[in-house]
Amino acid sequence: MKAGKGTHEIEIDQSGKNWILYDVGNSVFVLLSATLLPIYFNSIAADAGLNDAQYLAFWGYAASAATLAVALLGPALGALADTKGYKKPIFRLTILAGACGCAALGFARQWLVFLAIYVIAKVGFSASLIFYDSMLSDVTEPERMDQVSSHGYAWGYIGSCIPFALCLGLVLGAERIGLTMTAAIMLSLWIIALWWLLLSLPLLRSYRQRYFVERRPRAVAESFRRLGRTLANVKREKNIFLFLLAFFFYIDGVYTIIDMATAYGTALGFDTAGLLLALLVLQVVAFPCSIFFGRLAVRYRAEQLILVCILAYFGIALFAMILSTQAQFWVLAVLVGIFQGGVQALSRSYFTKIIPAEQSGEYFGLMDICGKGASFLGTTLVGVVSQATGDIHLGVGVIAVLFAVGAVLFCLAVRVPPEKA
């Protein structure tokens, strides 16, 4: 894996490649949570006598519970993981919780048990990403961060399609190969769990914590005190504080487009199969474009490229307001695919550069709060505006406001020199 700048090339070393492999391993869980798991839970819930409204409500409660748990625990766990010798063991525990929870879902036959296991798996998955992101400063040098981060997202997008396509084939072709639907989904969950665990091994074997806080007596209590000091100081670190505010708004716009795309297309009367195929195309397009943005970061500053992505998303949100045909939806999917990986990867690497390396865990815990907190704001605004005005186009248009606010705050953040933080 190389990224070039004219004749100059930056090569990603083995530690960086091992870090990227974890993105390939865990990303399929995101696709699983958006597709097969809700469908499987729906069948379990229906067998238990739950109606559609109850099914949707309880599924939403479980997702919210997992999100809230990670948002509350993330910074504290991140602060503890910054202590010398703690990051890898905690990271390993979150992987085991996520992957084993994923496999255990195949055994659940009672809807409440299924939801409880799902919350454990999702918490493990989300928590592992806090430590995974904070490892970036340990596995590569500052000049390689943009490329490594971009490759992580890129290979995660395309790599997740491999086991997912296999599992989708098992589920759709279950009868042809003599499997029940339940058996096919159980086998799919085991395949995904095994994929996740196996691709975690290279990083777990090779990772060495280069930046850390020295271990002190009562490390857990000390990590909470250190987190308290960080929270008190972050407002004085204006470049970090403003970036987190900007990230809250523009990443909310990104997540809202991802979450609402299928629902919006369905509301406009588009063909369901065409919508799902368009979203798969988005994943494929995001792969080369994420790598391309990583290469651009060698020549241009990450701040400039992040701003380009935010402004591009602003235009995409405006385009979504006038969407009227399925062909236009496909254009929208391709445009989102071009910029999605870039804005996520470069935001991660940019944040890594402006925070203290030895406190990366707790800072990424704070960043995760912004991402998790933002995950409900945009969808709520779209729903409220759509319902209040009776116009779904205006509801979608509110997403452009999130990108506009995010762009302004980001411009303010990059103008604050780090030494003034």
- Provide DSSP, 255-268: HHHHHHHHHHHHHT
Q: How far apart are CA 286 and CA 309, in angstroms?
A: 13
* Contact between 209 and 81 (Cβ < 8 Å): no
- pLDDT tens digit at each of 421 positions of the chain: 544 444 345 677 888 899 999 999 999 998 788 777 877 888 888 888 887 767 767 877 887 788 778 877 877 777 777 778 888 999 999 999 999 999 999 899 899 999 999 999 999 998 998 889 888 888 888 888 888 988 988 899 888 888 988 888 888 888 898 888 889 989 999 999 999 999 999 999 999 888 767 666 555 555 556 556 666 666 677 888 899 889 999 998 888 887 677 667 767 777 766 776 787 788 889 889 998 998 898 889 999 999 999 999 999 999 998 888 888 989 998 999 999 988 988 998 999 888 887 777 778 877 877 776 666 677 778 778 887 888 878 888 888 999 999 999 999 999 877 644 3
Round to whole Å and give the CA distance between 257 and 312: 13
Q: How many angstroms separate the most distant Cα atoms in the chain?
A: 66
Q: What is the pTM of this model?
A: 0.77
Return d(Cα 98, Cα 353) in angstroms, integer. 28
Amino acid type, 11? E
**Helix or strand (DSSP H, E) at 31:** helix 28-34
pLDDT of residue 10: 63
Question: What per-residue confidence (pLDDT) applies to 420?
Answer: 43
Cα four-point dihedral sign 42, 43, 47, 52:
positive
Measure CA of the first residue to CA of the last residue in the chain; give whole Å. Answer: 35
The rounded distance, in Å, linking the Cα atoms of 172 and 33 is 17
- Looking up tokens 């308290």 gives 228
Give the other-Cβ count within 10 Å of 358's Cβ.
Answer: 17
* Sign of CA pseudo-dihedral 231, 365, 342, 152: positive
- In this structure, what token pair is assigned to residue 273? 């199969």
**Amino acid residing at 159:** G
Which residue from 103, 142, 109 is spatially nearest to 41, judged by alpha carbons? Answer: 109
Nearest in space to 196 (alpha carbons), one of 103, 90, 307: 103
Burial per residue of 171-206, b for 16 or more beta-carbon CB atoms within 10 angstroms, e otherwise: beebeeeebeeeebbbbbbbbbbebbbebbebbeee
CA 345 remoteness from chain centre = 10
DSSP type of residue 214? P
SS3 228: helix
Task: Give which of 249, 421, 399, 393 is closest to 322, Cα–Cα.
Answer: 393
The whole-angstrom separation of Cα 372 and Cα 367 is 9
Q: CB under 8 Å to 299, separation ≥6 — which residues?
A: 5
Strand partners, 9: 4
- What's the pLDDT score for residue 379? 72
Q: What is the separation of C-alpha 59 from the centre of its chain, rounded to a whole number of angstroms?
A: 19
Alpha helix (H) ranges present in 176-237?
181-206, 219-234
Domains and CATH numbers, the chain: 12-232 (1.20.1250.20), 235-421 (1.20.1250.20)
- pLDDT score, position 7: 35
